[in-house]
Amino acid sequence: MALPPTSPAANQAPAGKNLSALLFFAGLAHAISFAPDPLPFAALPYVQLISLAVCFGCALSASTHRRALLYAGWFGLGSFGAGVYWVYLSMHHFGGMPAWAAGGATLIMALVLSLFYVVAIGVLRLLSPDNRQLSWHRQLLVGAVAASVWTLTEWLRGTLFSGFPWLNIAYAHIDGVYAGLAPIFGVYAVSWSAAFTAAILGLFAIQTRQNTQPLQGLGIGVAVALGIISVVVGSITWTTPYQAPMFVRLVQGNIPQDQKFNTHYALQGVERYIELAALPPKDPSHPLRLIVLPETVIPYVQRAFEPAFWQSWLDVAREQDASILLGLPLNQSQTQEDWYTNSVMLLSPLGTPQEIFHTQLPTYDKTHLVPFGEYVPKGFQWFVNAMNIPLGEFARGAPRQTNMQVADVAIAPNICYEDTFGEEIIRSVRPHPDHDTGANLLINVSNLAWFDPSWASRQHLQMSRMRAKESGRPMLRATNTGVTASILPDGRVQAMLAPRTAGVLDVEVQATTGLTPYVRWGNGPILGIALGLLLICGGLLRRKQS
């Protein structure tokens, strides 16, 4: 790990420029840890830790605060520039925005997201400006401050302005040793552990570079102990099976985004989904109980179709003797034609077209909407007008909605990137006196064709896996172009379809009951711990330096 020497003469501009380039490429490596293909999942935690350790090491050993902030900015630009480059695809290829405008908007987005890294490093440097004397207790204090401030800024990034938690460092560790903390304290506990380890590695590299005193390995020992504790507590099973296993079909139609809402091709895409849903079960001895189709598989509001159209879907439900969960925009207003929600509806084998038309079947309405794609932030109508996005502005669903029932199992759907917000997902798992006793099965329906071909679908799979692990519930994913998958309650992928292929995935699903500590507590405990450690350890560092 290349780190700057501490002498002022060695920190002249050329070295600074070289290190800025190093930090940018470390950020690129950091982005790769969130896109598993072609890297194996098991390698991703180490890629994340080493790249973030480079950022911490360079920033903590920088000769000036300004240079430390610059390093953080370059690292963030590399990480977010590569990690969310797919935003460009949606704006230019499918939104019709000119290449220069889409590229500029993507760069601005990466720069804004990088500011959270700059703030984290800025606070860390403020509390620990001098890292030449690295005693064992100072290592632990700096590591705790680094982990705490990083975790809190990750939480802020996932909360402010509706939140964008994409590329939270924890997701690179879904197959790592720290993932065992997720059912107890949630995704931010995994973030804290990963950031602490990266900071300790960075400090250890500084100490190795200085070579002025015996190496202090206690910090690394604490990081290893954290991993051991996480593995031990991760072996605890917090939930138990509920009802008998049932067979579910997940459908992936692979409809290109430029055809999905095109009036010449839209109905052809719907017909493909009907054909896939109607395929007989691969094993006749295992009849299907539920068929799940992606977000907006029906591209127009339900009242735009004649009863015969809906009857064709109900015929499939009757032939399969299974309920059908499908995504569509719903107009639930009797007076406003332009008032609609991004929803899923549960079609019953006993349903009627009239019930669909009048929204009398169980539905879930998306509550966490995507800025610019599903609602227009104040002052940004001009930006949305520069793109050709179908459907327009959706109404929000209620934060807690009644779960649906299939074969006596309570299922909680979520739509698109709603499953990137852990504390929102666990609302449906908790019992609610006005709604139900809590979900036994989670289902995500998405259409990531907006970003194809890109890393977005694989990054999204990492986050869905974390939600399953946090909640102790299986998570089913039905997507238009991928990744369609069945995820076990411990976060492992049970089965998946290859991205950008049309097909069905018939899986046996075991619903669960019981609450993990994270479902009971939410993010409060880990955020409180991080804030407390930041104040206490930061205060101790400042006192030692005064």
Catalytic residue of the set 295, 418, 424, 470? 295
Which is nearest to 202 in space by CA: 147, 120, 127, 123? 147
Q: How many Cβ atoms are within 10 Å of 417's Cβ, its own excluded?
A: 22
Distance CA 104, CA 481 (A): 27
Burial of 385 (0-12, 13-18, 19+ CB in 10 A): exposed
Catalytic residue of the set 55, 58, 416, 537? 416
Cis amide bond preceding 38, omega within 30: yes
With H, G, I as helix, E, B as strand and everything else as coil, classify residue 541: helix
Catalytic residue of the set 58, 366, 374, 423? 366
* CB-based contact 297:264 (threshold 8 Å): no
How many Å from the N-terminal Cα to the C-terminal Cα in the chain? 31
374 is known as an active-site residue: no
Distance CA 453, CA 398 (A): 33
Distance CA 101, CA 106 (A): 9
SS3 letters for 403-463?
A: CEEECCEEEEEEEHHHHHCHHHHCCCCCCECCCECCCCEEEEEECHHHHCCCCHHHHHHHH
With H, G, I as helix, E, B as strand and everything else as coil, classify residue 350: coil
CB contact burial 397-416 (16+ within 10 A = b; e otherwise): beebbbbbebeebbbbbbbb
Q: Where are the alpha helices (DSSP H) in 34-181?
A: 44-61, 65-83, 86-89, 99-127, 136-157
416 is known as an active-site residue: yes
Interstrand relation of 512-513 and 240-241 (parallel, antiparallel or unpaired): antiparallel
537 is known as an active-site residue: no
* CB-based contact 481:463 (threshold 8 Å): no
Distance CA 39, CA 387 (A): 34
Q: How many Cβ atoms are within 10 Å of 42's Cβ, its own excluded?
A: 10
User: Which residues are catalytic, by number?
Assistant: 295, 366, 416
